[in-house]
Amino acid sequence: MVLFPPPTLVVEGMARWIESGDFVIDLWTSVRRVVVGFLLGSSVGVIMGVLTGRVQLISSFLSPVFHILRPIPPIAFIPIVILWFGLSETGKLFLIFWGVYFMVWISTHLAVQNVDKGLIRAAQALGTPEHLMLKEVIFFGALPVIFVGLRTSVGISFYTLVAAELAGTVAGVFFRIDIAQQNLQTGQVLGGLLVLGTMSFAADRAFSALAKKLVWWR
Q: ∠196-37-70 over CA atoms, to 5°? A: 95
Q: What is the pLDDT of residues 27-39, one digit of tens each?
A: 898 889 899 999 9
Q: Which residues contact 17 (CB under 8 A, 6 or more apart)?
A: 23, 26, 176, 188, 191, 192
Q: Which residues contact 164 (CB under 8 A, 6 or more apart)?
A: 33, 37, 74, 91, 92, 93, 95, 96
Q: Are 137 and 61 in contact (CB under 8 A)?
A: no
Considering the domain boundaries, does residue 5 fall inside one?
Answer: no
Considering the domain boundaries, does residue 44 fall inside one?
Answer: yes
CATH number at residue 50: 1.10.3720.10
Mean pLDDT over 21-26 rounds to: 82
For residue 3, pLDDT over 70 is answered with: no
Q: How far is CA 188 from CA 89, 170, 200, in A?
A: 25, 17, 18
Reported confidence tier of residue 216, pLDDT bands at 50, 70, 90 = low
> What radius of gyration, in Å, describes the C-alpha atoms of the chain?
21
Considering the domain boundaries, does residue 141 fall inside one?
Answer: yes
Taking the CB of residue 113, how many other CB atoms lie within 10 A of it?
14
For residue 1, pLDDT over 70 is answered with: no
Most confident residue range from 18-32, 45-59, 64-78 = 45-59
Q: How far apart are the first and last CA of the chain?
A: 50
Considering the domain boundaries, does residue 15 fall inside one?
Answer: no
Most confident residue range from 34-43, 63-72, 167-176, 188-197 = 34-43
Considering the domain boundaries, does residue 134 fall inside one?
Answer: yes
Percent helix, percent strand, percent coil in the chain, to nearest 5: 85, 0, 15
Considering the domain boundaries, does residue 120 fall inside one?
Answer: yes
Q: How many structural domains comprise the chain? A: 1
Considering the domain boundaries, does residue 55 fall inside one?
Answer: yes
| 124/171 Cα distance (integer angstroms) | 54
Q: What is the pLDDT of residue 39?
A: 93
Q: What is the pLDDT of residues 99-129, one digit of tens each?
A: 899 999 999 989 888 877 777 777 777 777 7
Q: Which domain holds residue 113?
A: 21-214
Torsion angle defined by CA atoms of residues 152, 171, 85 and 78, in that order, rounded to the nearest 10 degrees: -60
| 75/51 Cα distance (integer angstroms) | 28
Diameter of the chain by CA atoms? 72
Considering the domain boundaries, does residue 116 fall inside one?
Answer: yes
